[in-house]
Structures are given as structure tokens and as C-alpha cells.
């Protein structure tokens, strides 16, 4: 697992490890694009102001529902790379109880090494997407 003291949920830790193994920034980008292509289509009616991520240059939307005590996210972006960031977070956090999601600290972002590959505005957007997902999880407790 991670060499730091922070323990991430298993699915998120697995994704972080996948990114850590790619030392080349181009490979990290390709990995993000791959995640973005796997992201299920988000219905247009969910692309409303209350689901919009603020602080992103791209248009990004996140929804969350609670089913059987677990959070299920859906998301989309108009930018392929950002869509990959959305998919990364959804895959890492989907199916977890909200109490577990709100405990996740954002230092996993640094562990991926992505901040080196991302522009400052994209890195900030990634953080803002994560924060909105935590906020939506907290609202569903």
C-alpha cells in the first residue's frame, strides 16, 4: 500500500498505485484519457447548476445518490482530460459509505504524481471536483 501514514479506500489506493508506476507524464495523460473513455454517459438533465463544479475552467458536473448505504456518483466534463480526472475519482470513491468518503484526505492527488503533469488550473479543478464529491457525500449522511 502507500508508504505514507494515510490509508486510502482500497479502490482509490489501487488507482493511485497505477499512476505511481507510470513515471512518464505522457503515460499518466494516456491513463487519464483511458479512464475518461470508460466513464458512463451522464444524462443531460443532471447537468444543472447544483451539480456543477465551481473553480474549473472546463464544464464539470457531479451527481451523487445513496443506495443501500453507499454513494454512487455520476459525472461528466466537456474536456477529455478532465473527464479522465472525474472518472478516476468516481472509480476510486463509488460504492463507499459517505462516512468513509468524507474522511479521505486530498493527499492522494500528490501521491499519483499527476500535479507535475497537470496545469495549475487543472490540478486545482481536480481538487475542486474531489471537494464537491465529499460535500455531496456529507449531504447524504
Res. 4 pLDDT band, cuts 50 70 90: very low
Annotation: CATH topology of 10-139: Sufe protein. Chain: A (3.90.1010)
pLDDT number for residue 114: 86
Give yes or no for residue 7 having a pLDDT over 80: no
Nearest to 32 by CA among 87, 71, 112: 87
The answer to whether 56 is a known catalytic residue is yes
Per-residue pLDDT, averaged over 129-134, amounts to: 97
HEC assignment per residue over the chain: CCCCCCCCCHHHHHHHHHHHCCCCHHHHHHHHHHHHHHCCCCCHHHCCHHHECCCCCCCEEEEEEEECCEEEEEEEECCHHHHHHHHHHHHHHCCCCHHHHCCCCCHHHHHHCHHHHCCHHHHHHHHHHHHHHHHHHHHCC
What does the pLDDT look like over 33-66, one tens digit per residue? 999 999 999 999 999 999 999 988 899 999 999 9
Whole-structure pTM value? 0.92
Q: How far apart are CA 9 and CA 23, in angstroms?
A: 23
Nearest to 25 by CA among 135, 93, 116: 116
Per-residue pLDDT, averaged over 91-98, amounts to: 97
Strands 60-67 and 70-77: antiparallel
Give yes or no for residue 2 having a pLDDT over 90: no
* Active-site position among 56, 60, 64, 104: 56
The domains of the chain are located at 10-139
Per-residue pLDDT, averaged over 105-109, amounts to: 91
Amino acid at each position: 500500500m502507500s508508504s505514507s501514514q494515510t490509508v486510502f479506500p482500497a479502490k482509490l489506493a489501487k488507482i493511485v498505485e497505477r499512476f505511481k508506476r507510470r513515471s512518464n507524464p505522457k503515460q499518466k495523460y494516456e491513463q487519464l484519457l483511458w479512464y475518461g473513455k470508460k466513464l458512463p454517459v451522464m444524462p443531460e438533465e443532471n447537468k444543472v447548476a447544483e451539480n456543477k463544479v465551481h473553480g474549473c475552467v472546463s464544464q464539470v458536473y457531479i451527481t451523487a445518490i445513496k443506495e443501500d448505504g453507499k454513494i454512487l456518483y455520476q459525472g461528466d466534463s466537456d474536456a477529455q482530460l478532465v473527464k479522465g480526472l472525474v472518472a478516476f475519482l468516481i472509480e476510486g470513491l463509488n460504492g463507499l459509505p459517505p462516512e468513509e468518503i468524507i474522511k479521505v484526505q486530498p493527499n492522494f492527488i500528490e501521491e499519483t504524481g499527476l500535479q507535475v503533469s497537470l496545469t495549475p488550473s487543472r490540478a486545482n479543478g481536480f481538487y475542486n471536483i474531489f471537494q464537491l464529491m465529499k460535500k455531496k457525500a456529507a449531504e447524504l449522511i
